[in-house]
Structure 1
C-alpha cells in the first residue's frame, strides 16, 4: 500500500482516491513525488504566443461588454445581460469551462450583479458573490432586475484557445449618486497604486500592503473586497490557462510579478446595497505594466 501524503493533497488539487490510484499505479517506479509547484511556476511567465492569445481574448471580451451596453434597460435581468455577452463569446469559440487549480472551487464565467445582489457573499474566494439563479447555483448571475440608480457590476471572463482574460466594469440605469461615484474613483486610485508598485518590480505583498493601506485611509477598510466577516484578502490574481494562478497581490507573496507575468487587478468595495470597482488584466513587460484587456477603451461606468 502506498504512503498517503496528506500535505500534498492539501496544497495541490488532488482527492485522496486520486492520489491513492496514481500512487498504486506508479509504485513500481519508486516513491511518488509532487511536481505541481514546478508546473505552476513554469506557467507564471507567459511566452509571446501565450500573451497574444490573451490579447485576442480581450478583443472578443470588449465586444461582449459592448453587447451588454446595448441591451441593458429597466427590468432586464442579470441573466439576460449575461446571455448577450455569452452569445458573442460562444460564437467566437469559447469552450464553456473556466479552469481553476484549487479543488473543489468552481465559478461561472460571468458575474452580473444588480443592486443589492452585489452585496451577497458566496462560497467562492472572491469579493463578489451574487444570488445565482437558484440555490443549486448559489452565486453569480440570477433573475434580479435592473432598477434606476442602482450599481450593476459586470465581471466577465473570456478564453481564447484556453487562455483567460478578466475584466470588470460598472453599469447603471441613469446616474449613480455621488457616494457610488466616489467609491468608484477610490477603487481606481487603489488600482493605480497596485499597478505602480508592480511596475517598479516590487513584491506582490508590497502591492497589497500599499493598496490596502490607501483603501483603509479612504474609509473602505471594512468593505474592501467584501464585507466582514466575508472579506477576501487580495487585490489581484495571476491568470492564464487557469483563473487562480500565482503570484497573487496578497500578503505572503514576497516576490515580484515576473516579466511575462499576467495578472488581473480588481479592487472592489462591497456594501449591503451593492458593490462597485474595476478590473483589467495586465502583463508586465520590458516597458512596464501594460493592460491586455480594454482599460480605457471601455468606460469604467456606462450609463444606460
Structure 2
C-alpha cells in the first residue's frame, strides 16, 4: 500500500516523481554498461546517483548486477523510498537494510563502489565489509552525460522559471538597491515554484550560490570558487557571490542565475544596467557573443571539448582579452563551458584535457565572460547537442542585449 498518494505533488497537483519508465531505462543502460565494462555489480550510494537510478535519495544503497539483479537497501525512510521508487511498479526491489554481515552475505556478486563520489571513511567501511577496491565512479558519470527526452523536458521547464527570475531582477532593480536584495527577489520566484534549496555539485567543497548578482567593481573580486565571477559575498565565511554592493548608474550588473526543476539544472547569465552601458562595455559583450557562437558551432559539429576550448581562447586573444577571459591572473578559470544535469559541474568540460566531443544528448552551459577590476561582463546559456547541432534550452531574452532597470 502506498502511504503517500497525495503528499508529494507539484504546485499544480502533478506527480513529481521520476517516471517508472525513465528509471527502468536508466537501470537497463546501467546493466548493459556493467556487461560491456566487465563489472560484476555496483553499489550506488551517492545521493544524486541514487535519485538518478531509483527515483529516491533516501538513506540507501542500490545494488545492481550484470545479470539484472536490482535491489534498493534502505536504512530510512523505507516507506518513502517505496513510494518515490514507483510503489508496486518500481523496476527494482525495495527492502530494509539488513545487519552488516547479512548484507555482505546476501549479495551474489562483490560490487564496485563509488569511491570518487562518497566520503573516504564511508567508502573504506564498505570496502572492508565487502572486500572490494573496484571503483565505478567514472562509469556512472559517463552514463549520466547523455540526457533522455524526459530530462531535457525537465530542463526546459526549469528555463521557464529561470526566465521569471530574470524578470523579477529587471522589475526590482533601482539605484541604491543592494546585490543581495536583488538576488533575494530572484530566489523568491525560484523557491515558490519548487526549488529544493541546494545546488548539487561533484567537486569539493561542494558549495555554490544559486544566484550570483555582482555590480560594478564587485564583479572583479575573485573568490575560492572555480568560475569567472567571484564576488565579495556577504562575509568571509560566505565569500562568493552577492554582497552589500549597491547598484549605481551606468555600471555593469552581471546576473548569473540557476534554477533546478525536479533536480535538473538550468544555468544562464544576463547583463543588466541602470541607464545603460558605455559603448566599450557593449562591444565587449558583443565579442563574448561571438566567442559563444564559435564554441556552440564547434561543439555542435562534434569537435572535441579541448579543441573547442582552444578555438574560443584564440578568438579571445585576437580581441586582446587573454588576460581577462574567465578571470584576472592569477585567478583565471580555464574553461568556457561546463556540463549540467542533476549537478552543476558534470562532465565533459570545454577545457584542456577533455579530448572528446560533447555526446549527443549532452547538456552544457557555455559562458564566456570578461573580468576587470571595475566590473565583469559576459553571457551564458544552457544547450543540448542534437543530431542537428546545438539547441538552446535557456530562454530568457537575448544574451547579447543589456537589460536596463
What TM-score do you get using the length of structure 1 for normalisation? 0.93
Aligned pairs for 1:94-133 within 5 A: 94-133=195-234
Given that 1:154 and 1:168 are in contact with CA atoms closer than 8 Å, whether structure 2 keeps it comes out as yes
Match of 1:204 among 285, 301, 305: 305
Task: Give the Å deviation of 1:39.
Answer: 0.5
Higher CA-based Rg: 2
Deviation at 1:233, TM superposition (A): 0.4
Determine which of 367, 370, 373 is the counterpart of 1:269: 370
Deviates more, 1:179-188 or 1:41-50: 179-188
Q: What is the aligned partner in structure 1 of residue 404 from structure 2?
A: 303
Deviation of the 1:296 alpha carbon: 4.1
Cα drift, residue 14 of structure 1:
4.0
Q: Residue 300 of structure 1: CA displacement?
A: 3.1
Residue of structure 2 in register with 1:92 after alignment? 193
Q: CA deviation at 1:32?
A: 2.4
| Structure with more contact order per residue of length (Cα contacts < 8 Å, sep ≥ 6) | 1
SS at match of 1:23: helix
Deviations 1:89-132 (A, max 9, x none): 11111000000011223111011001111001111110000000
Shift of 1:286: 1.9
**Structure 1 unmatched runs, 5+:** 1-7
Structure 2 residue aligned with 1:180: 281
Q: Does 1:69 align with 2:170?
A: yes
What is the deviation of 1:160? 0.4
Q: 1:59 matched to which residue of 2? A: 160
Aligned to 1:25: 129
Number of residue equivalences: 292
User: Is this contact kept in 2: 1:153–1:276, CA < 8 A?
Assistant: yes
Structure 2 counterpart SS, 1:69: helix
Residues 169-198 of structure 1 show CA distances to partners (whole Å, capped at 9, x for unaligned) of 000111211211111111111000000101
Residues 1:109 and 1:227: Cα distance change in structure 2 (over 3 Å) = same
The answer on whether the counterparts of 1:13 and 1:104 sit within 8 Å (CA) in structure 2 is: no
Aligned to 1:148: 249
CA contact (8 A) 1:14 1:103 kept: no
Q: Which residue in 1 is equivalent to 2:48?
A: none
The answer to whether 1:46 aligns with 2:147 is yes
2-structure distance, mates of 1:22, 1:32 = 10
SS of 2:140's equivalent in the other structure is: helix
Q: 1:228 Cα shift?
A: 0.3
Please give the alpha-carbon distance, in whole angstroms, between the structure 2 residues aligned to 1:153 and 1:133. Answer: 17
CA contact (8 A) 2:162 2:396 kept: no
Matches within 5 A, 1:141-290: 141-290=242-391
For structure 2, which runs of at least 5 residues remain unmatched after alignment? Answer: 1-113
Q: With structure 2 as the length reference, what TM-score do the two structures score?
A: 0.70
Q: Given the alignment of the two structures, is residue 16 of structure 1 paired with residue 120 of structure 2, yes or no?
A: yes
